[in-house]
Amino acid sequence: MSIDENWIQKIALHSPRRMSAQINSRPSSSNSGTNEELAKPELLAKLDDHVARVTDGWVLANEDGLWTASEDKSVRLYLRRDNDQYWPSINHFMPVQPTCLFYCEEVHRLLVGLLNGHVFVYDVADDCNSLRQRQHFTLHAGPISGLYLSITSELIFSSSRDKTVLWHCSENGTRQGGASIDSSCVCMVVAQPFIFIGDYGGNVHVLRIDGSVAQHLHKLSAHTGTVTSLAWDNDRQWLFSGSADNLVIIWDIGGRKGEAYELTGHKSRITKLYYGAGKKQLFSADESGKLMIWDMSAARIVTPAWATSDTCQLCEAPFFWNLQAMWQKKVVGQRQHHCRICGRAVCGSCCSARTTYPPMGFEIPVRICKSCDENMKNHSERYNLTPLAVGHDIRTGVVGLHVQELNGRMVIVGQNRSILLYNIKNQ
Ligand SMILES: [Zn+2]
Ligand SMILES: [Zn+2]
C-alpha cells in the first residue's frame, strides 16, 4: 500500500463534520431501529472475582481462556477447568497498575503496558502456568494506551498518553525509532508501514514508518470527540475510528477516492472497536453497555458532506447569525440543522422527520429533510431500510472488548468489574 498526500487530503476534505463553526446538535432519537432479538451472543461465563476495576481483557484462540489486567496491579490468565469454571492459572502482580495488554499466541509472548509508561514483555510457559520476564522498557512518560508486536519485523510498538509512539526491536530490546503528535495518544493500530493514532482531540494521525523516523502523512479530522478506539480491515484497507462523539467513521484508505462512511448506532461514548476479517464484522461497544455488530460485507453509501448556507436550503429562512436577512425579512433567525441523507443545511421545521437508513450507516433514527422524507415515501423501493447491524444490551458499560474469530469467543470487560465471556460462533 502506498499513501500519497493528495488522496488523503481528499479524505480529510470529505469529512462530513469539517465545518466546525456550525452549531449542531446530534439528533436525539427515540427507539432503536435494530433488531435486538437476532442471534444474541451466548454468555459462557461471568468472572466477577475482581475487587478492583479491570482495565483490559484479551481472549485466546487456541486455549479456552483469557487474560485480564486490573487496577489491583494484577495480570491474570484464566483457563477453563474440568468443572467448566474459569480459574486463574497465572496471577502476576505488576509494580504499577497495568493499562493495556497485547498477547501474541503464536510465540506465547505477553506485552503489558503500565500507568507509568513502562512496558513489560513476558514469555508465557507452554503449560500456561508461569511467566518469565523478557524485557522491560521505561521510555514513556505517561500511561501506555496501545501495544503491538510484529513477529515478522521483530518490532514492538507502544503508544502513550505522553503523545509519543515508539518502536523497539523485540529481540534485543533496542530502540528503533519514535514519533510524537500534538495531542495525547488514546489508541493505536499498526498496519506496517503505517501507524494510525487516535488522539484526545478527535483526530486520527496517519504516520508512515521509514526506519527510525515516522513521516506524519496526515491528520484525519472529522470526529467531534476523543478518538477512543481504532480497527483495521487489511483486505480493503479500511480504517475504523470510534469516538466519544458516539460515531464510528470508516476511512477508505485503500480506495484512494477520499471516501468516508459513517456508522450511527450508539447513543453514548464509544469505548471499543474490533474488526473480524473472517465474517467481515465490525464490533463496536459503548459506555452505556450497547454492543453493535455491523455487517461490513454490505454495500454502503458514502455519507454526504454537510452544506454551508446562511439560509435554509428548502424554505430560505435565515439562520440566526444571518442578521442582515433577518432584518430585511423581519423574521427570527433559525437554528441550522443538516439532513443526514442529502447534507443540505435546513431549518428545524424543514427537517422534523426522522428515519433509519442502514445503507448510509444510520441504524438509529436520524434527522432528514422534507424533500428526502417525501422521496423516501414516494419511492420506497429505492430505499432499503433492512438493518445492517445487530444491537445487543450488555447491561454494563464496556471498558474492554476483544474477539477471536477462530474459536468464536468474545470477552467484554465491564465498568462494574465483571468480565463476560461469550460464544459468538452464530453471529
Ligand atoms: Zn426551512
Ligand atoms: Zn435531505
Reported as a single tens digit per residue, the pLDDT across 165-195 is: 999 999 999 999 999 999 999 999 999 999 9
C-alpha 393/C-alpha 290 separation (Å) is: 5
Res 335: pLDDT: 84
In a domain, 318, yes or no: no
- Residue 7: predicted pLDDT: 47
Q: How far apart are CA 144 and CA 97, in angstroms?
A: 11
At which residue does the C-alpha cell 496517519 appear?
Answer: 206
pLDDT value, residue 321:
82
Residues, CB-to-ion distance under 5 Å, ligand 1:
312, 314-315, 317, 347, 350
State whether 249 and 364 are in the same domain.
Answer: no
Starting from the CA of residue 333, give the closest ligand: 1
Residue 1 contacts residue 237 (beta carbons within 8 Å): yes
Is 406 in the same domain as 377? no
92/163 same-domain check:
yes
pLDDT in tens, the chain (427 residues): 444 444 444 444 444 443 332 222 233 333 344 444 456 899 999 998 888 999 999 999 999 999 999 999 999 999 999 888 999 999 999 999 999 999 999 999 999 999 999 999 999 999 999 999 999 999 899 999 999 999 999 999 999 999 999 999 999 999 999 999 999 999 999 999 999 999 999 999 999 998 888 999 989 999 999 999 999 999 999 999 999 999 999 999 888 777 889 999 999 999 999 999 999 999 999 999 999 999 999 999 998 889 999 999 999 988 888 778 777 877 777 889 999 999 999 999 999 999 999 999 999 999 999 999 999 999 999 999 999 999 999 999 999 999 999 999 999 999 999 999 999 988 7
Q: Which ligand minimizes its atom distance to the CA of 343? A: 2
- Judged by its nearest atom, the ligand closest to the C-alpha of residue 337 is 1
Q: Measured in angstroms, how far is the CA atom of residue 332 from the centroid of ligand 1?
A: 12
Do both 86 and 196 map to the same domain?
yes
Q: Whole-model pTM?
A: 0.88
Query: Do both 82 and 226 map to the same domain?
Result: yes
Q: Is residue 187 part of a domain?
A: yes
The strand order across the sheet containing 86-93 reads 54-59, 65-70, 74-80, 86-93
Residues 337 and 278 in one domain: no
Domain check: are 273 and 373 in the same one? no
Cα of 372 vs centre of ligand 2, distance in Å, is 4
Is 154 among the domain residues? yes
Q: How far is the CA of 313 from the centre of ligand 2 (A)?
A: 10
pLDDT, residue 258, reads: 76
In the prediction, which pLDDT does 27 show? 33
Say whether both 165 and 280 belong to one domain.
Answer: yes
Q: Are residues 288 and 147 in the same domain?
A: yes
Could you give the number of structural domains in the chain?
2
Ligand nearest to the CA of 313: 1
Asked whether residue 312 is domain-assigned, the answer is: no
Instruction: Note the pLDDT of residue 2.
Output: 43
**Which ligand neighbours the alpha carbon of 353 most closely?**
2
**Percent share of the chain, pLDDT over 70:** 91
DSSP single-letter state for residue 277: T
Decide if 410 is inside a domain.
yes
Q: For residue 44, tell me if it sits in a domain.
A: yes
Together in a domain, 366 and 394: no
User: What CATH number is associated with residue 361?
Assistant: 3.30.40.10
Is 314 among the domain residues? no
Nearest residue to 87 via CA among 103, 104, 70, 66: 66
pLDDT at 5: 45
Task: Quote the CA–CA distance of 398 and 289 in Å, as a whole number.
Answer: 6
Q: Is residue 305 in some structural domain? A: no
- Ligand at minimal distance from the CA of 306 is 2
Statement to judge: residues 271 and 159 lie in one domain: yes
* Number of the ligand closest to the Cα of 318: 1
Query: Residue 339: which domain range?
Result: 323-382
Alpha-carbon distance of 232 to 250, in angstroms, equals 10
**Cα of 302 to ligand 2 centre, how many Å?**
14
pLDDT of residue 26: 31
- The predicted pLDDT at position 299 comes to 92
Q: How far is the CA of 203 from the centre of ligand 2 (A)?
A: 27
User: Ligand 1 center to residue 334 CA distance, Å?
Assistant: 8
The alpha carbon of 345 and the centre of ligand 1 are apart by a number of angstroms equal to 9
List residues bridging with 231 in a β-sheet.
240
Q: Is the peptide bond before 193 cis (omega within 30 degrees of 0)?
A: yes
CATH number at residue 113: 2.130.10.10
Q: How far is the CA of 374 from the centre of ligand 2 (A)?
A: 9
Same domain flag for 210 and 86: yes
Give the residue from 176, 180, 178, 211 showing the smallest Cα distance to 193.
Answer: 211
